[in-house]
Structure formats: structure tokens, C-alpha cells
């Protein structure tokens, strides 16, 4: 999956772990969902400069980007 112009919409800190909630449009044909580009939302958690978890959430209809 390729996500264009990812945008952080929320940052959370839990001890040494920093979690970013991110959204961005997928490249056409990059998902199994037919139709136009999809706005994908996911969470990426980092600890000590290393990715420790990634969680893909449900797609949504539009970006929250201001």
C-alpha cells in the first residue's frame, strides 16, 4: 500500500512509546477497495527510534487536513 502525503492528526505519548495517528490518500489501485483513491487512517507507534507497532484503521471519506 502506498499512501500519498501522509498527515499526522494526533500524537500520543505513553511512557517511552510515541504513537502517531496518520491519514493520507492511497495511490490508485493500491488497495483492494475499488473506485477512487481512499483516505487511509493508521496508527504508528515508535520506541527509541524504531517502529514497534502499526495498526490500520477503517478508511474514511475525506482528509481532516486543514
pTM for the predicted model, two decimal places: 0.75
pLDDT at 56 over 80: yes
At 65 the pLDDT is 57
At 43 the pLDDT is 96
Q: Residue with C-alpha cell 490518500?
A: 25
Residue 55 binned pLDDT confidence (cut-offs 50, 70, 90): very high
Domain ranges of the chain: 3-56
DSSP state for residue 16 in the 8-state scheme? T
* 30, burial (CB in 10 Å: exposed 0-12, middle 13-18, buried 19+): middle
More confident site: 26 or 46: 46
Residue 61 φ/ψ region, left for φ over 0, alpha for ψ in the -120 to 50 degree band, beta for the rest: alpha
Reported as a single tens digit per residue, the pLDDT across 33-47 is: 555 668 889 999 999
Amino acid at each position: 500500500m502506498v499512501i500519498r502525503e501522509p498527515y499526522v492528526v494526533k500524537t500520543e505519548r505513553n511512557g517511552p512509546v510515541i504513537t502517531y495517528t496518520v491519514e493520507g490518500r492511497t495511490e490508485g489501485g493500491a488497495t483492494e477497495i475499488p473506485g477512487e483513491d481512499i483516505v487511509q487512517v493508521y496508527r504508528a507507534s515508535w520506541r527509541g527510534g524504531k517502529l514497534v507497532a502499526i495498526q490500520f484503521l477503517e478508511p474514511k471519506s475525506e482528509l481532516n487536513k486543514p
